[in-house]
Structure 1
Amino acid sequence: MFRLDHILKENLIASYVVEEGIPCFSPKSEIETAYDKYESIENNIDFYTWLVYGHRPERNVYARVNDLLHEYLKSDGSSIILDVGCGVGRTIYDIAEKYRETHFIGFDYSLNMLQRSKQILIEGGKLLVDLSSSGFQDFDLKCKKLNNVHLVQGSVNELPFKPNSFDVLVNTFLIDRVENVRSAIEQMALVLKPGGLFVLASPLNFQTRENWKYGQTETLVELIKSQGIEIVKSEGGIPHKEVLDARGNFKMWQTLIIWGRKSNPL
């Protein structure tokens, strides 16, 4: 039987807080939450929920990532998967229902995002999303009751998990939003088991001058390789359309997907 404390660092097992059923390891202050755009339900989370669940163009980045996960899980359906920066649970939504013996850990810094994931992935029923601020009709989403999904709040730069805990680690639309890219890659590689699958998807739209050095695919690949990840393949230029409003305004991201395996120790 899966238990979260089996993969937590021992010094953290008795020290975290729980907010609405979600273990929190790097809780934000009220001021931090108020000024973080990713925590705004009305201005960000509602629209983002529709964007990834309601607006579903064929063969987008999430579909490509799910192809990779399906290919892995066909041969090992009893894995533990960590989705770092899971947001509202889009990657987990499509695949967790099919692979009931696999446990999915949705990890994010935003507690409000995780609470939305909880509604969608764990609580079941229907979710009505208010899209009036973007000019769209309200969106009705069928939610699931998945007992193999577990949600955890924390920082990617301080992952609360033991080394070598996960068979698969996925991060989509995350790495260009973190403050310390090197630290994030180091942490993710550390908690992945030897032989485990590493998947990264990002438009590499970095937020700081310092991090833009990783805007070159080769530089990011070298960083990942330096942490013991053997690159299987990288695919660049994958289009990912982000609709902005009912008038049809949009952004088109040229997205990169990198996947590889963590090397076994000598």
Structure 2
Amino acid sequence: MSAFGSLLPPPLDERRGIPLYYRKSEEEVRQDVYERYDELVARQTALHLADELHGGYPLQPLADYLQPWIPAGPARAVADVGCSVGRLVGDIALAHPDWDCYGIDFSYQMLRQGRDYWTAGKSVSANLLRYGYPLESFTGHQLPNLQFALADAAALPFPDHSLDLLINTFLIDRLPDARRAFTEWQRVVKPGGRVVMVSPLNFLKQKQWEHFHPPIKIVDHLLREGWQLLDLTDPLDLEEPMDKRGNVVRWRTLALVLER
């Protein structure tokens, strides 16, 4: 494999070290709740990077589900689309220093936090005093094999047939048209490559419910598009901690593993 990060072409723009492959309008920024730095970035940081607050990684069942489907071998190319602050792809990059890894998200604020923690080796903090947690900081890593970039999940910056593994979690129910994203993922994944998809299917719009509920509609669509189904787990139950008292949000997710 060539140098790390070489799958990414020159970006349209750059913001504090984050290459931008999509120019968000002011209206898109206003409507994107994940651009509200203080609240949601803090919660995602606490959920994915602050294991010591919880006595372990709260979404460990998600990481455990992913693990058997990570391909073996040297010099693999992996992307987490909708990576948030980069926990899953960061762990892969840490475990496989010769792999070329990418964290893709549509929120600059999430990407900034992920880059600071995973590649810049900075200390990041999560202000969750209102939830009973102490104000703490967490020192990150300096991983040369992990790159972060802002892009549309349905218009990725990768070349055709360039990825061995594409991960997406808690994403497809937030996309305007998940079918466009499925087609794009088929373009960028190598023959024999895999997609691991986990989603609560907590759709926000009526048309999405009509198109994708019950989940067999998603599976049928993917099979018609030529994907091979390696695993279907429904539900994969996950719990997201909300405060120090132990209140949680329970997510009943659909987990799929597909092979191109």
SS at match of 2:147: strand
Q: Any conservation in 2 of the 1:128–1:138 contact (CA below 8 Å)? A: yes
Superposition deviation, residue 28 in structure 1: 1.7
- Cα displacement string for residues 135-167 of structure 1 (whole angstroms, at most 9, x for unaligned residues): 321233231110000111111122222221111
Residue 147 (structure 2) aligns with: 150
TM-score, normalising length: structure 2: 0.90
Partner Cα separation in structure 2 for residue 15 and residue 97 of structure 1: 25
Distance 1:133 1:29, change over 3 A: farther
Partner Cα separation in structure 2 for residue 153 and residue 14 of structure 1: 13
Residue 2 (structure 1) aligns with: 3
Please tell me the residue identity of whatever aligns with 1:169: L
Q: Percent identity?
A: 28
Please tell me the residue identity of whatever aligns with 1:244: M
Unaligned runs of 5+ in 1: none
Distance 1:245 1:206, change over 3 A: same
Residue 17 (structure 1) aligns with: 13
Give the number of aligned pairs. Answer: 253
Q: Any conservation in 1 of the 2:120–2:140 contact (CA below 8 Å)? A: yes
SS at match of 1:96: helix
Give the counterpart of 1:186 among 163, 183, 186.
183
The within-5 A match list for 1:33-44 is 33-44=29-40
Q: Any conservation in 2 of the 1:66–1:95 contact (CA below 8 Å)? A: no
Partner Cα separation in structure 1 for residue 24 and residue 160 of structure 2: 25
SS at match of 2:94: coil
Unaligned runs of 5+ in 2: none
Please tell me the residue identity of whatever aligns with 1:37: V
Residue 234 (structure 1) aligns with: 232
Partner Cα separation in structure 1 for residue 10 and residue 149 of structure 2: 15
Give the counterpart of 1:49 among 39, 42, 45.
45
TM-score, normalising length: structure 1: 0.88
Partner Cα separation in structure 2 for residue 14 and residue 99 of structure 1: 25
SS at match of 2:97: coil
For the aligned residue pairs, the C-alpha RMSD in angstroms reads: 1.9
Superposition deviation, residue 236 in structure 1: 1.1
Give the counterpart of 1:29 among 25, 29, 37.
25
Superposition deviation, residue 96 in structure 1: 1.1
Residue 96 (structure 1) aligns with: 93
- Cα displacement string for residues 211-247 of structure 1 (whole angstroms, at most 9, x for unaligned residues): 1131322111122223321111111111111122334
Partner Cα separation in structure 2 for residue 100 and residue 19 of structure 1: 26
After TM superposition, the structure 1 stretch with the greater mean CA deviation from structure 2, 23-32 or 116-125, is: 23-32
SS at match of 1:255: strand
Give the counterpart of 1:161 among 144, 158, 165.
158
Superposition deviation, residue 41 in structure 1: 1.4
Superposition deviation, residue 192 in structure 1: 0.4
After TM superposition, the structure 1 stretch with the greater mean CA deviation from structure 2, 148-157 or 121-130, is: 121-130
